[in-house]
């Protein structure tokens, strides 16, 4: 294994991990447990170097999951972006972590948007959908500006949204990350969309429901947070920060009324 030579035992172990779809960490752990490597650094060096190459050969022979299958597998197992980035690197799809992260984020958001739209179309209670712009301080993509302009745009659930792209052309996506959009409108986009329950289902219009929601938020005014803080501080034996309500100052008008 030193001098660039892999023993047949190690090659067999790598082949087993490729067949089972395992990642570099699994292979490194197996190398340590089997005594084929004495140090974790040595085991990870072999795993991260040899595993992508082995996956690439297996893929050429039709014996390893394709890129689409890899994405689908991660989503089916409920894995997140960080896991998918590691899998894409381990299986040799990418060599640069930043590039793998961008693609992993795009693929997962794109497929989630499609699934959400399918759920919206199948729901009997939903008759409209709304574009929701998600702002991120980490996301400085230029398309954030024109996506923000259609935040809150509502359309019938079977109709597309209307988006004016950075190139000045008008596009009609069914959902964020729709393939009808050019790459510059999809990559780095964090927008989402949601279904709106029909007015007949609740007996209230969407605008009335939003007004009620806003009213309840204003009336609450953080009361639940203060109550929770008081309970936690009481359990810990700490004096609550909640100030006792001050007595109402009596005015001359109050005296006259008495």
Domain contains 256: no
Per-residue pLDDT of 184-221, as tens digits, reads 888 888 899 999 988 877 777 778 877 877 777 777 76
Residues 83, 9 share a domain = yes
Give the pLDDT band (50/70/90) at residue 34. confident
Domain contains 226: yes
Residues 66, 48 share a domain = yes
Buried b (16+ CB within 10 A) or exposed e, 188-227: bbbbbbebbebeeeeeeebeeeeeeeeeeeeeeeeeeeee
Residues 62, 132 share a domain = no
Give 10-75 as a DSSP string: HHHHHHHHHHTT--HHHHHHHHHHTTS-SSHHHHHHHHHHHHHHHHHHHHHTT-S--HHHHHHHHH
The number of domains in the chain is: 3
Per-residue pLDDT of 48-93, as tens digits, reads 888 777 777 776 666 667 788 888 888 888 888 888 888 888 878 8
Residues 50, 23 share a domain = yes
Q: With CA atoms as reference, report the closest residue to 100 among 133, 64, 74.
A: 74
Residues 56, 14 share a domain = yes
Residues 75, 132 share a domain = no
Residues 87, 18 share a domain = yes
Residue span of the structural domain in which 65 resides = 2-95
Task: Decide if 131 contacts 161 (C-beta within 8 A).
Answer: yes
Domain contains 213: yes
pTM: 0.58
pLDDT for res 157 = 94
Residue at token pair 């909640």: 242
Residues 52, 83 share a domain = yes
Residues 67, 48 share a domain = yes
Residues 85, 6 share a domain = yes
Domain contains 104: no
Q: Say yes or no to pLDDT of 119 above 90.
A: yes
What percent of the chain has a predicted confidence (pLDDT) above 90?
19
């Amino acid at each position: 294994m030193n001098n660039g030579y892999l023993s047949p035992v190690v090659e067999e172990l790598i082949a087993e991990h490729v067949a089972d779809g395992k990642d570099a960490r699994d292979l490194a752990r197996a190398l340590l447990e089997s005594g084929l490597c004495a140090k974790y650094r040595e085991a990870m060096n072999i795993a991260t170097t040899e595993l992508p190459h082995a996956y690439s050969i297996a893929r050429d022979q039709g014996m390893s999951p394709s890129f689409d299958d890899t994405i689908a597998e991660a989503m089916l197992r409920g894995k997140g972006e960080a896991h998918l980035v590691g899998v894409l690197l381990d299986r040799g799809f990418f060599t640069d972590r930043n590039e793998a992260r961008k693609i992993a984020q795009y693929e997962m958001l794109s497929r989630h948007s499609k699934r959400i739209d399918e759920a919206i179309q199948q729901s009997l209670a939903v008759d409209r959908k709304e574009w929701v712009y998600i702002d991120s301080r980490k996301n400085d993509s230029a398309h954030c500006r024109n996506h923000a302009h259609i935040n809150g745009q509502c359309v019938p659930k079977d109709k597309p949204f209307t988006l004016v792209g950075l190139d000045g052309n008008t596009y009609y996506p069914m959902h964020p990350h729709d393939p009808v959009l050019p790459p510059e409108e999809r990559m780095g986009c964090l927008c989402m969309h949601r279904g709106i329950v029909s007015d007949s289902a609740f007996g209230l219009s969407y605008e009335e429901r939003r007004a009620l929601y806003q009213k309840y938020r204003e009336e609450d005014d953080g009361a639940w947070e203060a109550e929770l803080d008081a309970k936690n501080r009481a359990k810990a034996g700490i004096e609550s920060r909640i100030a006792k309500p001050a007595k109402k100052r009596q005015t001359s008008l109050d005296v006259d009324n008495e």
